[in-house]
Structure 1
Protein backbone atom coordinates (compact mmCIF):
# COMPACT_ATOMS: atom_id res chain seq x y z
CA UNK A 1 0.00 0.00 0.00
CA UNK A 2 2.89 2.33 0.63
CA UNK A 3 3.78 1.79 -3.02
CA UNK A 4 0.41 3.28 -4.01
CA UNK A 5 1.10 6.41 -1.96
CA UNK A 6 4.40 6.92 -3.75
CA UNK A 7 2.80 6.30 -7.14
CA UNK A 8 0.06 8.84 -6.41
CA UNK A 9 2.66 11.35 -5.26
CA UNK A 10 4.55 10.95 -8.54
CA UNK A 11 1.32 11.30 -10.52
CA UNK A 12 0.48 14.47 -8.59
CA UNK A 13 3.92 15.96 -9.26
CA UNK A 14 3.81 15.15 -12.98
CA UNK A 15 0.27 16.45 -13.31
CA UNK A 16 1.29 19.62 -11.46
CA UNK A 17 4.10 20.19 -13.92
CA UNK A 18 1.70 19.92 -16.85
CA UNK A 19 -1.00 22.01 -15.16
CA UNK A 20 -3.73 19.43 -14.61
CA UNK A 21 -4.87 20.85 -11.28
CA UNK A 22 -7.98 18.67 -10.94
CA UNK A 23 -5.87 15.52 -11.20
CA UNK A 24 -3.36 16.97 -8.74
CA UNK A 25 -6.06 17.63 -6.17
CA UNK A 26 -7.49 14.16 -6.44
CA UNK A 27 -4.11 12.41 -6.30
CA UNK A 28 -2.92 14.50 -3.36
CA UNK A 29 -6.17 13.83 -1.50
CA UNK A 30 -5.87 10.09 -1.96
CA UNK A 31 -2.18 10.17 -1.02
CA UNK A 32 -2.97 12.07 2.19
CA UNK A 33 -5.66 9.57 3.17
CA UNK A 34 -3.35 6.62 2.51
CA UNK A 35 -0.55 8.29 4.46
CA UNK A 36 -2.70 8.73 7.57
CA UNK A 37 -4.06 5.19 7.30
CA UNK A 38 -0.50 3.84 7.19
CA UNK A 39 0.52 6.08 10.07
CA UNK A 40 -2.30 4.78 12.25
CA UNK A 41 -1.54 1.17 11.28
CA UNK A 42 2.14 1.70 12.12
CA UNK A 43 1.34 3.10 15.56
CA UNK A 44 -1.10 0.26 16.27
CA UNK A 45 1.49 -2.29 15.18
CA UNK A 46 4.03 -0.74 17.56
CA UNK A 47 1.73 -1.36 20.51
CA UNK A 48 0.37 -4.74 19.50
CA UNK A 49 3.45 -6.18 17.79
CA UNK A 50 4.86 -9.52 18.77
CA UNK A 51 7.48 -9.51 21.43
CA UNK A 52 10.03 -12.23 22.03
CA UNK A 53 9.65 -14.53 25.00
CA UNK A 54 11.50 -13.49 28.09
CA UNK A 55 13.30 -16.22 29.98
Structure 2
Protein backbone atom coordinates (compact mmCIF):
# COMPACT_ATOMS: atom_id res chain seq x y z
CA UNK A 1 0.00 0.00 0.00
CA UNK A 2 1.28 3.46 -0.78
CA UNK A 3 1.93 6.08 1.87
CA UNK A 4 -1.09 8.37 2.41
CA UNK A 5 0.64 11.41 0.90
CA UNK A 6 1.54 9.65 -2.36
CA UNK A 7 -0.74 9.73 -5.40
CA UNK A 8 -1.90 6.13 -5.92
CA UNK A 9 -2.24 6.79 -9.66
CA UNK A 10 1.55 6.77 -9.87
CA UNK A 11 1.63 3.09 -8.85
CA UNK A 12 1.00 0.10 -11.11
CA UNK A 13 -1.54 -2.52 -10.10
CA UNK A 14 1.18 -4.93 -9.00
CA UNK A 15 2.57 -2.25 -6.65
CA UNK A 16 -0.69 -0.94 -5.17
CA UNK A 17 -4.13 -2.34 -4.49
CA UNK A 18 -7.08 -0.95 -2.54
CA UNK A 19 -6.51 -1.40 1.20
CA UNK A 20 -10.03 -2.76 1.60
CA UNK A 21 -10.26 -6.32 0.25
CA UNK A 22 -14.02 -5.78 -0.06
CA UNK A 23 -13.29 -3.25 -2.84
CA UNK A 24 -10.92 -5.49 -4.82
CA UNK A 25 -13.60 -6.85 -7.19
CA UNK A 26 -14.89 -3.38 -8.04
CA UNK A 27 -11.33 -2.13 -8.54
CA UNK A 28 -10.40 -5.07 -10.80
CA UNK A 29 -13.50 -4.67 -12.94
CA UNK A 30 -12.75 -0.98 -13.42
CA UNK A 31 -9.09 -1.75 -14.15
CA UNK A 32 -9.94 -4.37 -16.79
CA UNK A 33 -12.37 -1.93 -18.45
CA UNK A 34 -9.65 0.73 -18.63
CA UNK A 35 -7.10 -1.76 -19.95
CA UNK A 36 -9.61 -2.95 -22.57
CA UNK A 37 -9.62 0.60 -23.91
CA UNK A 38 -5.90 1.19 -23.29
CA UNK A 39 -4.27 -2.30 -23.39
CA UNK A 40 -0.72 -1.45 -22.24
CA UNK A 41 0.21 -3.81 -19.38
CA UNK A 42 3.18 -3.85 -17.06
CA UNK A 43 4.94 -6.95 -15.71
CA UNK A 44 3.20 -8.37 -12.67
CA UNK A 45 -0.14 -6.59 -13.17
CA UNK A 46 -1.98 -9.64 -14.45
CA UNK A 47 -0.71 -11.82 -11.59
CA UNK A 48 -1.84 -9.27 -8.98
CA UNK A 49 -5.24 -8.88 -10.67
CA UNK A 50 -5.74 -12.63 -10.67
CA UNK A 51 -5.03 -12.72 -6.92
CA UNK A 52 -7.60 -9.98 -6.34
CA UNK A 53 -10.17 -11.50 -8.73
CA UNK A 54 -9.91 -14.83 -6.90
CA UNK A 55 -11.61 -13.07 -3.95
CA UNK A 56 -14.73 -12.23 -6.02
CA UNK A 57 -17.98 -14.13 -5.61
- TM-score normalised per structure 1: 0.40
Q: Considering only CA atoms, is the larger Rg found in Structure 1 or Structure 2?
A: 1
Q: Larger % of helix: which? A: 1
- TM-score normalised per structure 2: 0.40
